[in-house]
Structure 1
Amino acid sequence: MTTDPAARSAPRSSARRRNLLLVSVLALVPWSVQTFTAGSATLLFPWGLVGPATGSVTTITDFFLRFTMGLPDYILVWPVGVACYLVALGSALSGVLFGREDVRLTAAGLLLAGVTQLEVARGFSVQPGRTAWPVGTVLLWAVAGFLYWSRAGERDAR
């Protein structure tokens, strides 16, 4: 066993960068996919909505600042999920920048963001002619589980 602090911190530094990469990639995948009986789809990302057929993009800020009249409750949890995700991202970023990540906070932020996406998908799915797939829930929970359990194994090894 090495006593050199730099040698011991190298694997942790690499794990922190990996954690940040995993959490960051979640911003690039759709959190919910709504399919319509007419054959079109809408992709809901943490940063906005995309209509692949038309190429339209509506940012989350435009959606909530310009189209706020009469929004159903289930869509209002979308920004709550984004806030939870940002907490997880901030925790992972703190690990890289300062060497201090609370993986429990990172995992909890991702788990809660996943819960909110279940509600978004449920709300969209009860509308006629539309089905919503909570892809983000699965991905957010998978990354949270991986980060938490990989860290738990690290604690057990000490």
Structure 2
Amino acid sequence: MDCQATGNPKTGEATARCGVLVGGDQANARAGVFASTPGAGGPVTKGVYGAVNANGHGLSVQHGHIEGVGSTTTAAAQVNLHQSQSTSLNATGFHSHSRTHDQFGGGLNLQSAAGHQAAVGVTRVPQIDMTTIQTSGRANLYTSPSGNLNLNAVGSANHHLSGPRRGKSDFGTGLNLNYNF
């Protein structure tokens, strides 16, 4: 049994998940339950998840429910296009269905052994004719000799090609300090 919980006391955002993992690094399956909230006083999403992975390829499904709002089911896939000791390139795709709309998309994710990461993706919501391009990146600035402490610079940008926010862009940057006990 593997249980994890994360939270942000400033915003009230929190996530907890418990599940089982069967298999090893090359091939495994996992299933479990989760609960999350986007912030203090926000609605709680409760649900179940399952995934299978083999040699860098994976399939997953997640079903979440918000009391009084509805349910969302998401299916996703990942295919490893390139794997070496220094880099990994993956293609991803997903489809999410709720009572009010469908959302689907895909993208590419590049990771380096040094902790750097870059991603680009496209998301489409047909019901409101919205198409958005997302990009993100992470640069590892420092890793302690033990590997427990990491400092990363992060950034993201979204550009809306169509829909209610057509032509608008959103940007974000920050520093991420992580310590594993």
- Fold conserved between structures, TM > 0.5: no
Which structure shows the bigger proportion of residues in helix conformation? 1
TM-score (norm 2): 0.22
- Bigger strand share: 2
- TM-score, normalised on structure 1? 0.24
